[in-house]
Each structure stands twice: as C-alpha cells, then as structure tokens.
Amino acid sequence: MNKNRQIDMTQGPILGKFLVFSLPIIASGILQLLFNAADIIVVGKFAGDESLAAVGSTGSLINLLVNLFVGLAIGTNVVAANFFGAGKKKELGLTVHTAILVSFISGIILTAIGVVFAKEILKLMNCPPEVLKLAVLYLQIYFGGITATMVYNFGSAILRAKGDTQRPLYILFLAGIINVILNLVFVICFKMGVAGVAFATVISQTVSAVLIVIILINEDEPFKLDLKKLAVDRGILIKIIKIGVPTGFQGMMFSFSNVIIQSSVNSFGSLIIAGNSAAQNIEGFVYISMNSFAQGTLTFVSQNYGAKKYDRIKKVTVTSLLTILIIGLLLGNLVVLFAKPLASIYSKNPETIRAAVIRLQVICSIYFLCGIMDTMGASIRGMGHSVLPMITTMIGACGIRLIWLATIFQIKKFHTPFVIYLSYPVSWIITFITQFICFVVIFNKSRKYDFCE
C-alpha cells in the first residue's frame, strides 16, 4: 500500500495531520461550490431569474432525497476507518466491496424516486407556477444520473478512511472543469437553459464515478476493488447501516426542515427565491470550510476508536472545535462585510441582491455555531454512536425550526424572510448544547464499548 496516501491518525501530533487530511477536503468542497456557482451564475445571467429560481428551488429537495444514502457513505467511512485503525484487513476488504455495490443500488433507487415524483413533491413545496416546469425538468435530468454521484461519494469515503483526501480532490477538479465547459456550451451556445446545466452536472459526475472506480481497482489490498467480487456482506452491511441510516435520517430531517423553510421562502415570489439561492451558494463556501474539519473529526475519531486510543479522541475533538471556531468567525464575517458585491455576481436585480444580503447577514455572522454543532455530532458517530446525534438533531434543530415557522413566523409583523432565517442560529445553539452533553456522557463510558469487536 502506498504509505504516502494514508495517514496514521492514532499517533503523533494531531493538528498537523488534521490539516493535511482536512485541507484537501476544503479544497474539494470549495471547488465543488465554485462549479455549482458557475452553474447558477451561467443560468442566472444567460437564462434569467426564473431559471435561476428553478435551479435554486430544487436544492433542498435534492438533499432531502439524497441524504439517507449519503448517510450510508458516511457509515462506510466510519466502518472502514475503524477496521483500518484496528488493523483488520479482511473486514476492510469486505467493506470496500459491500459499499460499492450498495452505492449502485442506492443510485437506482434514487433515480426511480426522483424521476417519478419530482413534480408532485415540488408542488407540495409551493414551487411557483412560473418556475415549476423548469424545476421539474432539472430534477428529472439530475436524478437520471444520480448513480454516478453515489458511486463517487462511497468511493471517496473509502479513500478518506485511510487518510487519502488528495485523489478525490484531483478527480473533482477535472470533473468540475468539464462541468463548467459543458455549462457554457449547453446554456450559451445551444440555449438549453436549466436542461443544459443539469446535463453538464450529470456528465461531470459520471466522469468522477468512473475515475474513483479506476483508482480503487488499482489500489493495493485491502482497499483494492475487484468488480468480480462485488457482493454485500451481511455483517458489514449491518455495521454500515447502524452508523449510516441514523446519520442519513438525520440529514433527511435537516433537509426536511430546509424544505419547509424553502416552501416558506417560495411564498415570497421568484425574486426572493433567486436571492435566497444566491445566498445559499455564497454561504456554502463558509460551511464547507467548517464541515471539512468535521469530516476530519469523524475519520480521526473512528481510527482512534478502532485503535482504542480514547484520550486522543478528546484531543481531536477539542482541536477541531477551536479550528472551526476561528474559521467560522473569520470567513463568516468576511462574507457579511462583502455581502452586496458577492450577491451582485449572481444577479443584477436590486431586489434579488437585497434578499441575498439579508440571508447572509443573519446566517454568516454566527455560522461558527453550525460548525461546532457538526463537530460534536461527528465525534459521537466516530465512537460508533449514530442514533443519539440523530435524535438530538431532530429535536434541537429540525423540531425547533418547524416550531419557529409554525408559531413566530405566523405572526403578521414577523412574516418576513428575515424571521425565517433566524430559525437557523436558534436551532444551532440548542443542538450544540445537547450534543456536547451527549459527547461527555459517551466519552466517559467509551472504554466499556468496542465497535470493532
């Protein structure tokens, strides 16, 4: 096995290895957001605000449908990292083959759901009539190629388990360049609008999937993928499900609350939707910078839990919390400072820009709360406990947001987009406090459990 492409997270200085692991994930996320921004900018500039709103209004729905299976990819990362840390090569090999086959099955299921039910779900979300047709078209094309996305997610999760975050970055960079070029060709040259953006995304994701499979085929044991050996090992699948399903369900509940929030935003018309979409894309750069360290926390904690080095788990968590606090405060408030010029990149309409600025001011000024909340959940999952962070998130984040929209937002003088966005920081604070308490309890009992046995 190429030692340069793996990180032993169970010994040595934490911060240096943490940065080596997490920085490529940050770069990958930023690249992906830049390419997504290119999608939105191209469609907004050359196809109009309605097309921009159509693409933007589908984001929360896509996340809702995809997150359960993305949770299984996270489960794969935890299980593989546990086995890697424990030195269990046979179980690790079975994990690789089980995960890749599950990724294919997940993609097929998502394609069926997304293509068949896109219109009905968008209607339930109060998608404006002038946007509905374009949004349905985008979703159906996007989900037609979702299997490639699943394969890439599971494959990169396997590589991250041993500390390899660089090659997924290279793949994403190449696929992103292809995406941008196809966007320009399909939207500007062929006037395909949202369909062009969707096809460009599907093609670039297919390239990502093919490349990640090629890398795994050429890996050394136990990470080597042999397509002839693809099979689902029942024991491994159960381990992945125990971590992945609660994680995915948590993501779905998060997305469900965001779907409800998106539905509330949709009631203010296409220009507000467009501004909200632009702001979400901008704030994504801050989120991915923080979340990359949360992903690092997940893998570092998983390896150390497999190696039974419990004291390093606490050190990893503290390192991650401090790093995210600094990054969140710095980047978030830089976005607030330059909110208007950033929003103007996406649209020239003053109302759309104003709507984007309002969201950015509320969300990004204290976005670090979201980052430290994610880190606590990642630490708990890394120790093999996935149900508890799911429950705390459902109650502390999703429940609070839904209650907020059903009560505060319904008061006439508070019936504004600004009040909708306030539900986010309130939910982050409550969820973080709850998860911190859970982490302390689980950590103190961790020596009594061993996920790998």
Q: Is the dihedral of CA 8, 12, 16, 19 positive or negative?
A: positive
Could you give the 3-state DSSP secondary structure of residue 226?
coil
Segment 275-285 mean pLDDT: 85
Q: What is the pLDDT of residue 447?
A: 58
pLDDT reading at 448 higher than 60? no
Segment 308-328 mean pLDDT: 89
Closest CA to 440 of 376, 374, 386: 376
308: left (phi over 0), alpha (psi -120 to 50) or beta: left
Q: What is the pLDDT of residue 57?
A: 66
d(CA 367, CA 285): 11
pTM score: 0.76
Segment 12-24 mean pLDDT: 83
Q: Higher-confidence residue: 206 or 22?
A: 206
pLDDT tens, residue by residue, 181-203: 998 899 888 888 888 888 998 99
pLDDT reading at 4 higher than 60? no
Helix 310-337 / helix 270-306 crossing angle, nearest 10 deg:
160
12: left (phi over 0), alpha (psi -120 to 50) or beta: left
Taking CB atoms within 8 Å and a gap of at least 24, the contacts of 431-435 are 431/373, 431/392, 431/393, 431/396, 431/397, 431/400, 432/369, 432/372, 432/373, 432/376, 433/396, 434/392, 434/395, 434/396, 435/373, 435/376, 435/377, 435/380, 435/389, 435/392, 435/393, 435/396
d(CA 391, CA 246): 9
* Choice among 190-204, 229-243, 386-400 with the minimum mean pLDDT: 386-400
Residue 176 CA: distances (Å) to CA of 31, 35, 38, 173, 446: 7, 6, 10, 5, 41
pLDDT reading at 452 higher than 60? no
Residue type, 34: L
Q: What is the pLDDT of residue 362?
A: 92
pLDDT reading at 111 higher than 90? yes
Q: What is the pLDDT of residue 203?
A: 95
pLDDT reading at 450 higher than 80? no
Segment 258-283 mean pLDDT: 83
pLDDT reading at 241 higher than 60? yes
Q: What is the pLDDT of residue 321?
A: 93
Domain residue ranges of the chain, discontinuous segments joined by +: 14-448
At 358, give phi and psi (nearest 5°): -60, -45
Model confidence at 148, pLDDT cuts 50, 70, 90, reads very high
User: For the chain, what percent of residues have pLDDT higher than 90?
Assistant: 34
Residue-averaged pLDDT of the chain: 85
CB 298 within 8 A of CB 60: no
pLDDT reading at 393 higher than 70? yes
pLDDT tens, residue by residue, 57-90: 676 677 777 777 888 888 898 899 889 888 899 9
Q: What is the pLDDT of residue 453?
A: 41
Model confidence at 56, pLDDT cuts 50, 70, 90, reads low
Highest mean pLDDT among 18-22, 226-230, 250-254: 226-230
Model confidence at 96, pLDDT cuts 50, 70, 90, reads very high
